[in-house]
Amino acid sequence: MRGGERLTSETAFEEIQRHYQQRDLAAREWRGNGGKVVGYFCDAVPEEMILAAGLFAIRLSGDPHGKTDVARQNVIPRFTNREDFVHSILNMLLTGEYDFLDYLVIPHTRDSIHRLYQLIAMMKDSDPSLNLPELFFLDSVHTTFFSGGLYNRDRMLELKESLEEWSGKEITSEALSRAINITNENKALLKRVASLRAAEPPCISGVEALQIISSSMFMLKEEHNKLLRGFLDGADKFPVRNGIRLFVSGSPLDSLQLFEIIESCGATIVADDNCWGNRYSNVPIDTSLDPFEAIADRYHNRSPCSRMYPMSRRLEHCLQNIMEAKAQGVVFNVFRHDAAEIWEIPDKTKALEEKRIPSVYFRNQPYLITEPEPLKTSIGELIETIQRSQ
């Protein structure tokens, strides 16, 4: 994108796609210009603080098509949760695909993620020649009580101190407020994307939305905001989509495969409750509070991730979003050994039955979908069920 050029909706989207596909593009460029890069996992790490420190924040993702051979030689037996994803990430870390990371923040979230801290720390210890980033473990509780909130807040203060050390400068309240404004704007723009996607009829597909939302986690936020504004400028001309309105719930999705398969059957994924999707932009930061406290508060009380207690909150969140998006059917997708997700599905299915919303459940799914046909057949059947009931 050349400077000064007015963005058309198409070029903005192409740029977004480019960053979705080449996830390291912006980070490498930043580093090439002498900046430092902080990687993180999950939507549990406050990007605002990283931004306020003048560092580049990038959420790490795996690659279902990528290799896993190097990781497999290093994984200790206790890794059984979502091992495909874990292997993929580790392989990328060990083979230099993430060699642009200066620091890596690992939050205490689902087992497959937080255990990476111990594993990577051990690897670093046993082989100092490995080019692995400096680690920070962002501890947090899995309950959402007041005392836990205080605990999390203290850990965020420690993260803030580390970021200050890494960047060599203090993170002021003003810098935090500025960063909050940028990320809040991002969330507000993404909410507009969410409403166009859930509009009747929708004019953004799930596949497009997932790229738009996820790319926010791979880019400089201001740049992403610019692209989003350019993209949304042409919203009145977006072609409308017909077809059945579906909602996708389940394991975190850092690739497009599942959405592509579902939408290739003629449906539109009007919303999701995924941390790579709508959940990322659901809850803005309260600008009426002290900026640091507001950040700590937001991350403690954000839309519930599947690793949080209580499950009832997850169920409510999922149902509310299904209803708001006027979804006609739901697809549950759970990766093999995703213990955080698997116990929730029966409750959700039951609640949907009571509301007469049909659903399909893809369980024990591989990280890389190699056999899309059975999934397509199920989606086809779901669509038919919905059509028959219309």
Q: Which does 252 bind (CB under 5 to 8 A by kind): ligand SF4, another protein, none?
A: ligand SF4
Q: Which helix (H) or strand (E) holds 384?
A: helix 372-389
- Kindly state whether residue 84 participates in binding another protein, applying the rule CB under 8 A: no
Q: Out of ligand SF4, another protein, none, which partner does residue 142 contact, by CB within 5 to 8 A per kind? A: another protein
Q: Does 188 bind another protein (CB under 8 A)?
A: no
Nearest distance in Å: CB 359, ligand SF4:
19
Binding letters toward another protein, positions 299-338, x by CB under 8 A: --------x-xxx--------------------------x
Tokens at residue 9, please? 């909706």
Q: Edge-to-edge strands of the sheet including 245-250? A: 268-272, 245-250, 329-335, 359-365
List interacting residues with ligand SF4 (CB under 6 A): 42-44, 109-110, 113, 252, 275, 305-307
Query: Please, what is the minimum distance in Å from the beta carbon of residue 114 to another protein?
Result: 7
Collect all residues with Cβ–Cβ distance below 8 Å to 225 and sequence separation of at least 6: 182, 185, 186, 189
- The burial of 11, by beta-carbon neighbours within 10 Å (0-12 exposed, 13-18 middle, 19 or more buried), is given as middle
Phi, psi of 198 (to 5 degrees): -95, 5
The reply on whether position 110 binds another protein by CB under 8 A is: yes
CB of 150 to another protein, least distance (A): 8
Q: Pull the structure tokens for residue 290.
A: 């002290």
- Give Cα 51 distance to the centre of its chain: 18
What percent of the chain is helix, strand and coil (3-state, nearest 5)? 50, 10, 35
Which of the residues 344 through 373 are near another protein (CB under 8 A)? 344-347, 349, 361
Enumerate binding residues for another protein (CB under 8 A): 73, 76-77, 81, 110-111, 114-115, 117-118, 121-122, 125, 137, 139, 141-143, 147-148, 151, 154-155, 307, 309-311, 338-340, 342-347, 349, 361
